[in-house]
Structure 1
Amino acid sequence: MTAPLQFGGLSLADALDIFVFSVRDGFVQVSAFVAVTVLVFSYIQYRTGGRIVSYLERNERMQPLAGALLGLTPGCGGAIIAMPLYIRGSVSFGTVIAALAATAGDSAFVILALAPEAAVYAYGLAFVAAVGFGYAIDAWGLGVGRVDRAVSRLGRPVTDGGFATANVASGGPSVPHYEMDDAHSHAESQSEETALARVATVFSHGVHVLWWAVAVAGLVAGVLYLARGAPDVPLAFDATFFGLFTVAGLVGTTASFYLHFVGRKFIGEGAAGRVRDDFASAYETFQHAAMETSMVTVWVIVAYLVYEYSVVLFGIDIAALAAAAGVLAPVGGALLGLIPGCAPQIVFAQLYAEGGLPFSALTANAISQDGDALFPLLAIDLKAAIVATIYTTIPALVVGVALHFVWPYSQFGFGVL
C-alpha cells in the first residue's frame, strides 16, 4: 500500500482539507459581516452626497473620535473604511490608529454572544484607549511622514492602489483613467469594444449580483453560527445549516476572487482602498461595496491559510501561550494582536469564552488586534501599516498589564454566560 504524500508531516489530504475549510470559513465568518458594514457606509455616502467625508475633512479635531467609532463597530468593516480615507488625505494618521485600536474584529461577535458583559467592559476600555492614543499621535506629530507630507504638498490627492495621480489644481485628472466612473470603461479598447469584452462585462455584472445573494446567505449562516456558540461546521451540501454555511462560503469566496482579479477589469471599482465622494446610483453603491469586500476576502483567505498551515506545520499552540501565568497573559494577548486578520483572534475569543484566559488578556488583544482592517493599508502603504500595527500594541500592553494588577473582578471567566 502506497503511503500518502507528506509535506513536513502534513499529508496532502490534510492540506486539502485545511484549504477548503479556510476558503469556506473566511467568507462566512468575516466577509459577509464586512460587506454589511461597508455597504451601510457607502449607502449613507450615496444618500448624503458625500457630506460625511467632507465633514471629517473640515473638522480635523473630530477625526480620531470618528475613527474610534468606526472601529468600535463589531467586525472589521468600520475600521476598513478609515484606511482609504487616510490614504487619500481625508483623515489623519491618528484617526487610523484610533480606528485600529478600537477594532474588535470578528472575534467581537463571539464575545458578544458568549460573554456580553466582558464585551462591554473590554471594548469600552479599547474605545477609550483608542481615542486617547489617536489624539496623542496627532498632537505629538507621530504620523508616517511620507504620506502626510505628500498630502500637504499636493493638496487633495486621490491615491488608488498606490498609483500616483496628478494634482487637480494643476489640471490633472482627479481619478486615474483606469478608474473612470463609466462602468464599461475597463471593457473598452481605444477604438471599440470587442464582442468578448461585452460578454465578459455582462458575465461580471451577473457574478456581482450572485455575490450579493451569496453574501446575504453567508450573513444568515454567520449569525446562526454565532448563535450556536461557534461550533465546528462539517462540510455539507444539503438543505441544512451546515449546507448553507458550506455552499455560501465556497461560492462566495470563488465569486470574490473573480470580482477582484477579473471582474474589476470589466465593471470597474476594483482598486484596493478607494473611497468615493458620491455614487451615481444605488447599484453603483452596491457594486463598490462588493468590490471592496472582495479585495478584503482575498487577503482574509491568505491570512487564514497562513495561520492554519503554520499551526499544523510548526505546532503553534495559542492556548498555551495565552494561558501563561501572571502578567505574561496580557502581554501574549497584545503580541497576538500583531498578527493581521481575524483567525487567531477568533480562537483567542473562544478560549476566553471557555474560561481559559484572564480578562486582562482579552482586553489587551482587543486593543492590539487590527483584524482585517489592516489589509487595505498593507496593500497600499506597507510602511504605514507596519507603523500602525506597532503603535496599537503600545496602549494594549499598558492597559492589559494595568488590568492585571488592578482589575477588581475575577480574572478568569469574567462576564462569561
Structure 2
Amino acid sequence: MIPLQLGLPEVLEILIGSWREGFVQVSGFVGATILLFSLVQYRFDGRLTTWLQENERAQPLTGALLGLTPGCGGAIIAMPLYIRGTVSFGTVVAALAATAGDSAFIILALAPEAALYAYGMAFVAAVLFGYAIDIFGLGVGYVDNAVERIGRPMTDGGFATTSVAEGGPSIADYDGPDGHDHDHDHDHGDDLPSYLPHSRLLERVSHAIHVLWWIVLAGALVAGVLYLAKGAQEPAWAVAATYDGLFTITGLVGTTLSFYLYFVGRHYIGEGETGRVRDSFESLYNTFQHAAMETAMVTVWVIAGYLLYEYGLLLTGVEIQALAAAAGIFAPIAGAVLGLIPGCAAHIVFAQLYALEEAIPFSALVANAISQDGDALFPLMAIDLKAAIIATIYTTIPGVIVGVLVYYFWPYAQFGFGVLG
C-alpha cells in the first residue's frame, strides 16, 4: 500500500541524511574539479575560453572530454559557456551525454573494467550526437520553430522562447522597473536582495565563512575518497576524530555553509551572480571565491534533488532496483529513462546496485551513463530551463539506442560484468 503521508521521524531522517551525504558524495568532488578549471583560467588569463570560442569545430569534442572527467565538475563548466554563447548547443549535449556524474567514482572504484567500456561508449556516443546536433541545426531554436508550427495560436503574442545562448532574454539581461541594467549589480554587493541589510559585519563574516568552507571541503574530499575506498558503504553517525566522524561533520557543516554562501554570502563578497563562467580572475583569492560560489549553488540543487528523490520514493513506494532490473530489453530502456532524473542521488544508488549487488545488467549501466546528466544540468536549469529540458531529453535518445544495441550485440551485457571480486 502506498503511504499517503510522511511521518515526522521519516521526514527528519531523510532531511538530515541528505544534508550529510550530499556534500561528501558530490560537492567535494565538484568543488575540486571547478577549482582546477578556475585555476587553469587564472593561469592562462582566459585564453582557453577564447580558443574554444574561435574553434567551433572542436567544441563538441571538448564538451565530451569535459563530461568524461569523473564527477560533474567538467560538465558543469560547459553550461555557463553555452549560456553566454561561447559554445554550441551540441557541445552542451555532448558534455551531458559523456558525463556519468558522481556515480562514476563508484563504478571506477568497484568495477573499473565496466567503467572503461561503459564510459568509452558514452564518450563516443556523446561526440557523435553532439556533432550531429550542430551539423543538422537541432538546437533550441529548431525545437522552437517546430513547436510554433504545431501550435502557432498558443505562441502568437506570447513570451519569447528563444534560448539565452541564441539571443533570448536571460537573468543577466534583465532591466529593472527603473530601466537600470542589473547585469553586474550583485557582483559587488551594490544591490542586495530585500531580505539582506547592508552590513560591513556580514561582509567580513561572509569572507571568513568562505575560508572555512574550503577547509571543510578539503575534509569532505578526503571523506569522499575514503567512502569509495571502503566500497561506498554508508558510514555510521559519529562526532569523533574517525572516518565516520569526518564524513558526518564535514557533510553537515559543509552543506550548512554552502546554503549560507548561496543565499547570503555571495551577495556580500563579490560573486552574487552564479552560473557564469569567468574569462579571467583578478587574484588567486578571487579564483577560489568563484569556485566556492559555483559549488555552493550546485550543493543547494543537489540537496533539493536528494530530498525530492528520497521523499518521492517514500511516498510512491517505487523501488529503483525493481525498475532497473526489468526483464529483457526493458532493462536498458529503464536505465536511460532513469537518466532523466537530474542530480546524482538516483544514479549513485543505481551504481551501487550494479557494483555492490549485481542487480543491474551492463546494458542498463551503459544506457544510464549516457542518459544521465548528473549535477551539470542544475546551472543550466537555473538560467535557461527550456534548454535544460531539451538537452536532457536529447541525451536520453543515444542512451536508449546504445543501451539496446549493447543488450543485443555486446557479449558482456550480463549482470556483474567488470565488478571486482
Output the TM-score relative to the length of structure 2: 0.89
Return the alpha-carbon distance in structure 2 between the equivalents of residues 406 and 310 of structure 1: 35
Deviating 4+ runs (over 2 angstroms): 7-11, 146-154, 183-188
Are 2:394 and 1:391 aligned?
yes
- Deviation for aligned residue 1:10: 2.9
* 279-288 or 226-235: bigger deviation: 226-235
Query: 1:235 aligns to what SS in structure 2?
Result: coil
Query: Aligned in 2, Cα 1:162/1:413: closer, same or farther, shift over 3 Å?
Result: same
**Equivalence for 2:312:** 310
Return the alpha-carbon distance in structure 1 between the equivalents of residues 300 and 88 of structure 2: 27
- Deviation for aligned residue 1:184: 5.9
Q: What amino acid is aligned across from residue 361 of structure 2 in structure 1?
A: P
Q: What amino acid is aligned across from residue 18 of structure 2 in structure 1?
A: S
Query: 1:214 aligns to what SS in structure 2?
Result: helix
**Equivalence for 2:149:** none
Gap runs ≥5 in structure 2 = 145-160
In structure 1, which of residues 12, 16, 26 is the aligned counterpart of residue 12 of structure 2? Answer: 16
Gap runs ≥5 in structure 1 = 1-6, 167-171, 189-193
**Equivalence for 1:125:** 121
In structure 2, which of residues 165, 175, 185 is the aligned counterpart of residue 178 of structure 1? Answer: 185
Contact 1:100/1:392, CA 8 A, preserved across alignment: yes
Q: How does 1:13-412 map to 2 (within 5 A)?
A: 13-145=9-141, 162-164=171-173, 176-180=183-187, 183=188, 185=190, 197-353=199-355, 354-409=357-412, 411-412=414-415
Return the alpha-carbon distance in structure 2 between the equivalents of residues 237 and 150 of structure 1: 46
What is the aligned residue count? Answer: 393
Q: What do residues 91-123 of structure 1 show as CA deviations (whole Å, max 9, x unaligned)?
A: 000000000000110000000010000000000
Query: 1:163 aligns to what SS in structure 2?
Result: helix
Return the alpha-carbon distance in structure 2 between the equivalents of residues 361 and 234 of structure 1: 31
Return the alpha-carbon distance in structure 1 between the equivalents of residues 166 and 7 of structure 2: 54
Return the alpha-carbon distance in structure 2 between the equivalents of residues 293 and 403 of structure 1: 35
Q: What amino acid is aligned across from residue 360 of structure 2 in structure 1?
A: L
Q: What amino acid is aligned across from residue 370 of structure 2 in structure 1?
A: I
Q: What amino acid is aligned across from residue 373 of structure 2 in structure 1?
A: D
Query: Aligned in 2, Cα 1:179/1:50: closer, same or farther, shift over 3 Å?
Result: farther
- Deviation for aligned residue 1:275: 1.0
Q: What amino acid is aligned across from residue 58 of structure 1 in structure 2?
A: E
Query: 2:173 aligns to what SS in structure 1?
Result: coil
Contact 1:187/1:197, CA 8 A, preserved across alignment: no
Contact 1:272/1:379, CA 8 A, preserved across alignment: no
Contact 2:186/2:192, CA 8 A, preserved across alignment: no
Q: What amino acid is aligned across from residue 132 of structure 1 in structure 2?
A: L
- Deviation for aligned residue 1:272: 2.6
Q: What amino acid is aligned across from residue 300 of structure 1 in structure 2?
A: V
Return the alpha-carbon distance in structure 1 between the equivalents of residues 186 and 228 of structure 2: 38
Query: Aligned in 2, Cα 1:206/1:150: closer, same or farther, shift over 3 Å?
Result: closer
Q: What amino acid is aligned across from residue 279 of structure 1 in structure 2?
A: F
- Deviation for aligned residue 1:410: 5.0
Return the alpha-carbon distance in structure 1 between the equivalents of residues 310 and 366 of structure 2: 24
Q: What amino acid is aligned across from residue 94 of structure 2 in structure 1?
A: A
Contact 2:275/2:383, CA 8 A, preserved across alignment: yes
Return the alpha-carbon distance in structure 2 between the equivalents of residues 152 and 114 of structure 1: 42
- Deviation for aligned residue 1:13: 1.3
Query: Aligned in 2, Cα 1:409/1:150: closer, same or farther, shift over 3 Å?
Result: closer
- Deviation for aligned residue 1:264: 1.3
Return the alpha-carbon distance in structure 2 between the equivalents of residues 82 and 113 of structure 1: 26
- Deviation for aligned residue 1:165: 6.2
Contact 1:270/1:292, CA 8 A, preserved across alignment: no
Q: State, as a whole percentage, how many aligned pairs show the same letter.
A: 65
Query: 1:238 aligns to what SS in structure 2?
Result: coil
Query: 1:267 aligns to what SS in structure 2?
Result: coil
Return the alpha-carbon distance in structure 2 between the equivalents of residues 78 and 393 of structure 1: 20
Q: What amino acid is aligned across from residue 314 of structure 1 in structure 2?
A: T
- Deviation for aligned residue 1:149: 7.4
- Deviation for aligned residue 1:411: 1.2
Return the alpha-carbon distance in structure 2 between the equivalents of residues 177 and 121 of structure 1: 45
Query: 2:17 aligns to what SS in structure 1?
Result: helix
Query: 1:10 aligns to what SS in structure 2?
Result: coil
